[in-house]
Amino acid sequence: MRVTVERRLRQPRWLVVAVPIASVVFALAVAALVLLATGHNPLTTYHQLVDAAFLQTGSLGQTLISATPLAFTGLAAAAAFRMKLFNIGAEGQMYMGAITGAAAGLYLGGRGGPSAFVIASMVVAGCVGGVVWALIPGILRAFFKTNEILTSLLLNYVAGYVLTYLIFESESYWRQTKGFNATVFPTGKPLPHSALWPGWTIHAQGGIAVPLGAGFGLLAAVVVWLLYSRTRFGFEAQVLGDSDRAARYAGVRVRRKILSVMALSGAIAGLGGASQVGDFAHALDGDPNGLQKQGFGYSGIVVAALARYNPFAVVLVAFLIGGLQNAGNTLQGATFPAGLVGVIQGIILFSALGGELLIRHRIRIGRRVKGPAPTSPEPAA
Amino acid sequence: MNNSLLIVLIASGVAYGTPLLYAALGELLAERSGVLNLGVEGMMLVGAVMGFWTVQRLHATTGVALVAAIAVAAVAGAMMAAIHAFLVITLRASQIVSGLALTIFAGVYGLSSYLGNNLNLADQPARHSFSAVFPSSMQKWPIVGPIVFGQNVLVYVSWACVVAISLYLSRTRPGLNLRAVGESPAAADTMGINVTAYRYVHTIAGGAFAGIGGATVTLAITPQWVDGITYGAGWIAIALVIFAFWRPELCLVGAYFFGALEALAPQLQARNIQLGPTVLWTSSLPYVMTILVLVVVSSGTARRRLGAPSALGNAYVREER
């Protein structure tokens, strides 16, 4: 008996769908072992999880609240990872988008502009905040060849400190300074009414609120899809991701491409930050146990990888992982310890990665077939 | 004199730098074999929580409990690294994404937090912790007292590790083989070196070091458990390996420099020194400095990739050469 791994010439379409689904199933099975080993009944836990995520009254609405930011961070990761530009900074770019988005909402909303104008400005401001923060690692990568993984990640911590600083450690423009509560526990200044993002209500499960941000998320998915499948820009970015040298010979302007992809990724993450403010928090949330505790930026990487960087799949996967995240928030307690969500997400990502092997390669068990050995279709570069 | 800011900063730089040093040495071993492991933060946190758990639950004398805790932390870190090793060496997965997966799985939002909550470790002081080994009269000697003799045993062990790893890499046959595997796995394979085995062993050993680094935080620096207690030290350790041009001696220098930066915020606060929005500046300083040093290193000398193993980040598949 021997096991041989050969590269596939063609990747069957069904595998591209089957492997991610199998990854999730496998991950839940492994996580069940973790639960058993730590003295929990996995069946009860999973039952509660599905209930809290999708079935009980109001759960779908709550899941959308977690899924919306995940769609943004997932798209941000997918847009950059496709070019093998590893922007791990969606977390920090989202905080920055929240800060600039909130500033626009507070300032313009306070001056009494029409709601549509205020919201549009918040969207633009959020994108700009994310772009600025993403361009730091982008510029460093493009001009100094500095590893963007480390720089974008370290900036997440800095962005977290800035966010906390604005609400907790200073009397900034974003902080609520009037009223009794403000002296007891620092909070963000509430947005004026015209800066609140509207939503739609679906009349099911006692009313599911669909936030405006979810719409923007879909729009962003369409934009990323169009860019990567229908334009020269996306094509060049993918060539650059596959082979830096080939792209250079073909005349792709590498620096410009790095900057624009980083900016695109940052803009999407920043828009997610503005949506956090406009859709849900209605103020800048600087609490280290609030937005910062959710880790949307990191979960976005799981979403993007499981969706195999396909923008529409990102939206779908964001909804599923959003359900998991929502269940984690609702159930947190003795039977559902904090951290379980990350454990499950980590295992999902591991198995999705292992599954890539199955998509790219064929595994033969048994003796080799007689005849000429199959030649590998593309020798390693 | 021993109370001057400079001396205190150097002394606490050595103490705060020790977790970074352990983690960086581990990452260095893995990277020298050609495996990039971005999961250091996760491995450190799991080591930190398991080490702390051992100390809280094991009924033994301080010495035994602490040695057991370090051993448990090393095993925990090694187990995390084994997952990464299997994925990237055997399954040929992307080293970058697998490392990120390890950080998500084990890190602040994952296993370390799960274990901390499930084992009820939060909000309690450690029952045993590492303290200075030398008598307090020696610690009062000028300059060397606090810096050299005021440290705990983990610091001295880390010095021994630096020497040992340095000699291992430059003076032994397995060390030479390891470097060959990291530089050119195909050539190493032709020489009869088992590339897969070398990569597994060093990636897993790297995880053990990261686990010990994490336990240094919860057993020597801040003897308690808080979710995400390493605050990105794992990432700084990865950057340190780059600054150190993949050389253990330089890891030590870098680790103490960043240790001192970390110590700056509490020291300035203790002395009531205000530098503008102090909290924001000083707490962001280690991260911002890491980025700045990375920029300098990557745009200057390392443009020629000085010291980076050539095969870093690539899976080795014999049939595809």
Q: What is the pLDDT of residues B75-93, one digit of tens each?
A: 999 999 999 999 999 988 9
Q: What's the whole-number mean pLDDT along residues B256-281?
A: 79
**pLDDT at residue number A369:** 54
Interface of B with A in 256-275 (CB under 8 A): none
Q: What's the whole-number mean pLDDT along residues B3-18?
A: 89
Distance in Å, alpha carbon of B110 to nearest chain A alpha carbon = 4
Q: What's the whole-number mean pLDDT along residues A218-246?
A: 93
Q: What's the whole-number mean pLDDT along residues B71-77?
A: 97
Select from A247, A269, A330, A347 the least CA-distant residue to A88.
A269
**With an 8 Å Cβ cutoff, are B110 and A342 in contact?**
yes
**pLDDT at residue number B3:** 77
Q: Which residue of B has its CA nearest to A137?
A: B291
Interface of B with A in 220-239 (CB under 8 A): 227, 231-232, 235-236, 238-239
- Please count the CA atoms within 13 angstroms of the CA of B134 that sit on its side-chain side: 15
pLDDT of residue A379 exceeding 50, the answer is no
Residue A204 to residues A57, A209, A318, B294, Cα–Cα distance (Å): 9, 10, 21, 53
Separation CA B300–CA B210 (nearest Å): 29
Hey, what's the torsion of the CAs at A240, A243, A249, A250, to 10 degrees?
-50
Pick B318 or B247 by higher pLDDT.
Answer: B247
Select from B60, B28, B10, B9 the least CA-distant residue to B169.
B28
* Residues pairing with A201 in the sheet: A209
Per-residue HEC secondary structure of chain A comes to CCEEEEECCCCCHHHHHHHHHHHHHHHHHHHHHHHHHCCCCHHHHHHHHHHHHHHCCCHHHHHHHHHHHHHHHHHHHHHHHCCCCCCCCHHHHHHHHHHHHHHHHHHHHHCCCCHHHHHHHHHHHHHHHHHHHHHHHHHHHHHHCCCHHHHHHHHHHHHHHHHHHHHHHCCCCCECCCCHHHHHCCCECCCCHHHCCCEEEECCCCCEEEEHHHHHHHHHHHHHHHHHHHCHHHHHHHHHHHCHHHHHHCCCCHHHHHHHHHHHHHHHHHHHHHHHHHHHHCCCCCCCCCHHHHCHHHHHHHHHHHCCCCHHHHHHHHHHHHHHHHHHHHHCCCCCCCCHHHHHHHHHHHHHHHHHHHHHEEEEECCCCCCCCCCCCCCCC
Mutation choice for A interface testing from B291, B293, B301 by most A CBs within 10 A: B291
Distance in Å, alpha carbon of B316 to nearest chain A alpha carbon = 10
Separation CA A374–CA A377 (nearest Å): 9
Q: Of A160-164, A177-181, A361-365, B131-135, which has the strongest mean pLDDT?
A: A160-164
pLDDT of residue A12 exceeding 90, the answer is no
Report domain B5-320's class: mainly alpha
**pLDDT at residue number A346:** 93
**pLDDT at residue number A331:** 86
Report domain A42-362's class: mainly alpha
Select from A213, A189, A187, A54 the least CA-distant residue to A127.
A213
**pLDDT at residue number A293:** 86
Residue with tokens 């624009």: A260
For chain A, what are the domain ranges? 42-362
**pLDDT at residue number A46:** 92
- For A44, other C-beta atoms within 10 Å of its C-beta total 12
Give the closest of A154, A169, A340 to B235, CB-based.
A154
Classify strands A199-202 and A361-365 as parallel, antiparallel or unpaired.
unpaired
pLDDT of residue B264 exceeding 70, the answer is yes
**pLDDT at residue number A198:** 92
Q: Are A6 and A361 in contact (CB under 8 A)?
A: yes
Q: Are A210 and A221 in contact (CB under 8 A)?
A: no
Q: What does the pLDDT look like over A185-210, one tens digit per residue?
A: 888 999 999 999 998 888 887 788 89
**pLDDT at residue number B131:** 86
Q: Are B207 and B80 in contact (CB under 8 A)?
A: yes
**pLDDT at residue number B304:** 57
Q: Are A348 and A306 in contact (CB under 8 A)?
A: yes
On chain A, the residues whose CB falls within 8 A of the CB of B227 are 338-339
- For B162, other C-beta atoms within 10 Å of its C-beta total 20
pLDDT of residue A374 exceeding 60, the answer is no
Separation CA B167–CA B24 (nearest Å): 17
The verdict on A358 touching B (C-beta cutoff 8 Å) is no
For chain B, what are the domain ranges? 5-320
Lowest mean pLDDT among A24-28, A253-257, A319-323, B131-135: B131-135
pLDDT of residue A18 exceeding 90, the answer is no
**pLDDT at residue number A337:** 82
Q: What's the whole-number mean pLDDT along residues A48-63?
A: 91
**pLDDT at residue number A368:** 55
Q: Are A67 and A210 in contact (CB under 8 A)?
A: no
pLDDT of residue B14 exceeding 50, the answer is yes
How does DSSP assign B108-145, residue by residue?
Answer: TTSHHHHHHHHTT-TT---SS---B-S-HHHHTSTTHI
- For B176, other C-beta atoms within 10 Å of its C-beta total 15
Residue A217 to residues A231, B106, B163, Cα–Cα distance (Å): 20, 29, 53
- For A282, other C-beta atoms within 10 Å of its C-beta total 19
Pick B161 or A7 by higher pLDDT.
Answer: B161
**pLDDT at residue number B267:** 80
pLDDT of residue B254 exceeding 60, the answer is yes
Give the SS3 label for residue B202: helix
pLDDT range class, residue A5, cuts 50, 70, 90? confident
**pLDDT at residue number B296:** 87
Q: What does the pLDDT look like over A87-121, one tens digit per residue?
A: 999 999 999 999 999 999 999 988 888 999 999 99
Pick A256 or A373 by higher pLDDT.
Answer: A256
Q: Which amino acid is at B115?
A: L
| Average pLDDT value over all residues in chain A | 89
**pLDDT at residue number A357:** 82
Give the SS3 label for residue B152: strand
The verdict on A155 touching B (C-beta cutoff 8 Å) is yes
* Residues pairing with A211 in the sheet: A199
Give the closest of A150, A343, A349 to B111, CB-based.
A343
**pLDDT at residue number B277:** 63
Mutation choice for A interface testing from B100, B115, B229 by most A CBs within 10 A: B100
Mutation choice for A interface testing from B98, B293, B319, B320 by most A CBs within 10 A: B319
Phi/psi of residue B263, nearest 5 degrees: -75, -20
**With an 8 Å Cβ cutoff, are A165 and B280 in contact?**
yes
**pLDDT at residue number A181:** 73
Q: What's the whole-number mean pLDDT along residues B181-188?
A: 93
Interface of A with B in 204-263 (CB under 8 A): none
**pLDDT at residue number B303:** 54
**pLDDT at residue number A182:** 73
Separation CA A296–CA A304 (nearest Å): 12
- Please count the CA atoms within 13 angstroms of the CA of A364 that sit on its side-chain side: 11
Separation CA A359–CA A355 (nearest Å): 7
The one-character DSSP state at B271 is: T
Q: What's the whole-number mean pLDDT along residues B290-311?
A: 77
On chain A, the residues whose CB falls within 8 A of the CB of B288 are 154, 158
**pLDDT at residue number B120:** 86
Pick B79 or A380 by higher pLDDT.
Answer: B79
**CA angle centred on B16, ends B239 and B45, rounded to 5°:** 65
**pLDDT at residue number A367:** 60
Separation CA B283–CA B222 (nearest Å): 16
pLDDT range class, residue B301, cuts 50, 70, 90? low
Separation CA A86–CA A79 (nearest Å): 10
**With an 8 Å Cβ cutoff, are B115 and A339 in contact?**
yes
pLDDT of residue A375 exceeding 60, the answer is no
**pLDDT at residue number A1:** 59
Pick B204 or B266 by higher pLDDT.
Answer: B204
Residue A224 to residues A300, A307, B69, Cα–Cα distance (Å): 15, 14, 49
Select from A106, A60, A54, A53 the least CA-distant residue to A281.
A106
**pLDDT at residue number B123:** 83
On chain A, the residues whose CB falls within 8 A of the CB of B239 are 150, 154
Q: What does the pLDDT look like over A267-305, one tens digit per residue?
A: 999 999 999 999 999 999 888 888 888 899 999 999 999
**With an 8 Å Cβ cutoff, are A350 and B112 in contact?**
no
Percent of chain B at pLDDT > 70 equals 95
**pLDDT at residue number A381:** 41
Give long-range contacts, CB 8 A cutoff, 24+ apart: B188-192. B189/B316, B189/B318
Q: What does the pLDDT look like over B107-157, one tens digit per residue?
A: 988 999 999 988 888 888 889 999 888 888 888 888 788 888 889 999 999
Q: CA-based diameter of chain A, in Å?
A: 84
On chain A, the residues whose CB falls within 8 A of the CB of B299 are 143-146
Q: What's the whole-number mean pLDDT along residues A247-252?
A: 90
Separation CA B276–CA B36 (nearest Å): 39
pLDDT range class, residue A151, cuts 50, 70, 90? very high
The verdict on B292 touching A (C-beta cutoff 8 Å) is no
The one-character DSSP state at B303 is: G
Specify the pTM: 0.91
Q: In terms of C-beta density within 10 A (0-12 exposed, 13-18 middle, 19 or more buried), how is residue A51 classed?
A: middle
Separation CA B189–CA B257 (nearest Å): 39
